[in-house]
Structure 1
Amino acid sequence: MKRIEMEADLFCIHCKDEVPHKIIYINDKISHLECEVCSRVIDMSLDIQKEFYKEVYRRIASKPHRITQEYKDDLSHFLLSIPKRAITKPYRLLKDIKEIREIKKEKELQLHVYDKKEQ
């Protein structure tokens, strides 16, 4: 799951001017916008679990094509890399799960902080 944070100048309705904003994307979808001048926050309702399932489905569905292309490009490298890939796959899956948990925690924390600002 990809999490990208960037800054961009956007028009803020509250500031009534074009000012810097922090934008957080999760899998190429905007998850969070925050004005860096007035700290106004817009959280998009993004189901992290659903995004993860979509990404896993996309990766599984494209796997046969990627494997076919890989062995057509370089069969010897493909055959030599299979044992290493088989051994490291559980670790790569754990890394993905850890990333998702971190993103979910961060999203919950952002919502909690935003709720406190509202009060």
Structure 2
Amino acid sequence: MAKILVVDDSSTVRDEVAGFLRKSGLDVDTAVDGKDGLAKMKSNPGVRLVISDVNMPNMDGLTMVEKMRAELPMNAVNVIMLTTESSPAMKERGKAAGVKGWIVKPFKGEAVLETFKKLAS
């Protein structure tokens, strides 16, 4: 199965999401912010799904996705935003950057597991 990258500055959320996905048999890596996430995508072309928060220090999730699309040949990478942010303007910016889905926290793993598996394959 292809690799999933979970990007969130909250270690609690990062561990919860990554732990759930690992227990479900998926190959997962984590990053602490958008800058770290972009670096990990550059060093690992096997990433097929990014699950990212929006509001993070150093580089926010939407900027990370925009840079990923501009700097990396990774059009096959699906991106889901997992965030407390629900503003229409943010969602529109995400859509323009190629974000496939927008999930408002809290994370409910069972509800999205099959979708995540499909997007990571």
User: Normalising by the residue count of structure 1, what TM-score does the alignment of the two structures yield?
Assistant: 0.24
Max radius of gyration: which structure?
1
Higher RCO (C-alpha 8 Å, min separation 6): 2
